[in-house]
Amino acid sequence: MTTTAQKKIELVSPAGGLPSLKAAVDNGADCVYFGFKDATNARNFTGLNFDLPQIQEGIAYAHQHGRKVLLALNTFPLDSNQSNWTVAVDRAAELGVNAVIMADPGLMAYAARVHPELRLHLSVQGSATSFEAINYYHERFGIQRAVLPRVLSLAQIEQLVANTPVEIEVFGFGGLCVMVEGRCALSAYATGKSPNCDGACSPDAFVRWEQTPRGVETRLNGILINRYSDDERASYPTLCKGRFTVKDETYYAIEEPASLNTLEMLPALARVGISAIKIEGRQRNPAYVAQVTKVWRAALDALVRDGERFTAQENWMAELNKVSEGQSYTLGAYYRPWK
């Protein structure tokens, strides 16, 4: 059996633009994932993502350094605009990306039929939480890796890995979502724009910041999401991480703003047999990508070297806390002591 020290886990880092892609590569990412400048990816924000010349430069830069590039086509087309997604698949094949990350079964069927040589990864947006679901995508569309939603415990991941030939990728660091990925409804309820089809949770066209006598207020399509005092750090307004008044108490009623950080769990994740660790944050800046990638590169190298003797160093955790939401972190669903 492969031991913790022998198994190499790939580090998959985000790139919201060319500077972030280069920062990821320069700081040790094995793979970089990115999206086109349109609704075919789930980070469809103004100022993010890649046009064709930037993609070509980014792919060349990554490949020159021996790294892989993964294209996120992880939203869901409609009958009225499906050609936008199929054209994106064609372009991905022409550009020579190492894999395409997909959620929509119809789009997978197109890719498997028209571009059988194209490696397919099942996106977290596909919400596959069982080995039966993942094996179906493997048998039907030939997917070779699946990104798991952030709702499974370590024991559930272990059972899943043991019952599928598909490589398993899990999120290791970054923002959390209270919804099951691929099923978000809160942002669409507030704005009429679905993250699953339009590619953006809390689209920036609906976001407003206003200085008031009571502090900085953030609104989403007119809905008050949060109010910050002068000594608080204001975060991007999403409904699930807003403060609301419930029974005369104002607090984070749905979800606290905190980042997932599984660094201390690396030996356990290696034991269950995952193939890759994913860093969330295509919407974050290049400094974030560089800092997080550098820490996780050092940690994964230490894991290979030290195996079960691995410990998460205090300086690593301190560096990650600097870029965590709310400057705090959680193990999320990975650790459920009652299971």
Task: Report mean pLDDT in 10-residue bins for the chain, 339 residues.
Answer: 62 97 98 96 90 96 98 93 96 97 97 98 95 98 96 93 98 82 81 85 90 92 91 83 89 82 95 97 95 98 94 94 80 66
**How do strand 259-261 and strand 329-330 relate by DSSP bridges?**
parallel
Give the model's pLDDT for residue 326: 66
At residue 98, φ and ψ (nearest 5 deg) are -80, -25
- CA–CA separation, 137 and 147 (whole Å): 12
pTM reported for the whole predicted model = 0.89
> Which domains are delineated in the chain?
10-176+258-334 (3.20.20.70), 196-251 (no CATH)
Give the model's pLDDT for residue 310: 95
Q: Which residues contact 103 (CB under 8 A, 6 or more apart)?
A: 74, 75, 76, 122, 123, 124, 125, 126, 182
Give the model's pLDDT for residue 194: 82
- CA–CA separation, 202 and 182 (whole Å): 15
